Amino acid sequence: MAVEAVGHWTLPDSPYAMWVRGELDEYLRIPDDGTRVEVIGGEFVVSPAPVYLHAGILADIQDAVRYARVADAAFSWRAVQAVNLDLVDIGDGYIPDMVVLHKDTDAKLRAEDALHLQPQDLDLVIEVTSSSNAHNDRRPVLGRRLKPTKWSGYARTGVPYHLLVERDPRQPGITLFGEPDRGEGSYRVLGEWKFGEPVRLPAPFGFEIVTDTWKPWTA
């Protein structure tokens, strides 16, 4: 079973600065096998490549966007997986499972051959939890200290909507968050669904995701 590991490293620069320059993976000797390196709360986090069902959920969402484009020529959204997202305001660097952005923004980023996206480029960010690192995708919880997560980082940088697919067998389901409070680093819950229920995203998106084959990870 893949697990997340924590270690102590002496780096020649901050994790964020090295991540932005594209040097962190090489310095850590990360294999080119889908392993991801992100900077969350100023600390680098190494996560294994996602399992097949995780990838299949993302494929279902991408199919839903594609079907909506075919059905309506005026449909404005594009979905892209695993892109570098530079959260310069908080000094973090994420690789979201998927982002949804306006077609005009998509065209601009393609023309520029953009290396990193910025939070203002996104309209919706999607994360699917994995057993190895789900705590990094959820809202922060009180413990010995309140550690930032990607959920709070998206809110602090003003990403308008966040769809979290929770595969933990103790609390499976899908939640749409919105109305980010940048100061608090938090969102409001706008919608919740169980696996197997159709997820109809409200305006401005207006497309439906079929979740019939979605299920929790194996405990």
How far apart are alpha carbons 15 and 57 in whole angstroms?
30
pLDDT recorded at residue 1: 45
Longest dimension (CA), the chain: 53
pLDDT recorded at residue 110: 96
Domain ranges of the chain: 50-209
How far apart are alpha carbons 175 and 193 in whole angstroms?
7
Burial bucket for residue 194 (CB in 10 Å: 0-12, 13-18, 19+): exposed
Give the residue from 154, 194, 196 showing the smallest Cα distance to 178. 154
pLDDT recorded at residue 124: 98
Q: Which CATH superfamily is domain 50-209 in?
A: tt1808, chain A (3.90.1570.10)
How far apart are alpha carbons 142 and 7 in whole angstroms?
22
pTM of the model: 0.92
Count of C-beta atoms within a 10 Å radius of residue 52: 8
pLDDT recorded at residue 132: 84
183 CA to centre of own chain: 20
* Kind and range of the H or E run holding 131: none
Percentage helix, strand, coil for the chain under 3-state DSSP, each rounded to 5: 25, 25, 50
Q: Are strands 161-166 and 124-128 parallel, antiparallel or unpaired?
A: parallel
Q: 68 and 75 in contact (C-beta within 8 Å)?
A: yes
Q: What are phi and psi of 93, to 5 degrees?
A: -140, 115
Q: Residue with structure tokens 């003003």?
A: 158
Taking only the tens place, the pLDDT of each residue in 151-171 is: 999 999 999 999 999 999 999
pLDDT recorded at residue 145: 58
Give the residue from 185, 38, 42 showing the smallest Cα distance to 97. 38
Question: What is the token pair recorded at 32?
Answer: 């080119």
In the chain, which residues have pLDDT < 50?
1-3
pLDDT recorded at residue 35: 87
Q: 54 and 47 in contact (C-beta within 8 Å)?
A: no
- Name the amino acid, one letter, at 52: Y
pLDDT recorded at residue 119: 97
Strand order in the sheet with 43-47: 43-47, 36-40, 92-94, 85-87
pLDDT recorded at residue 143: 57
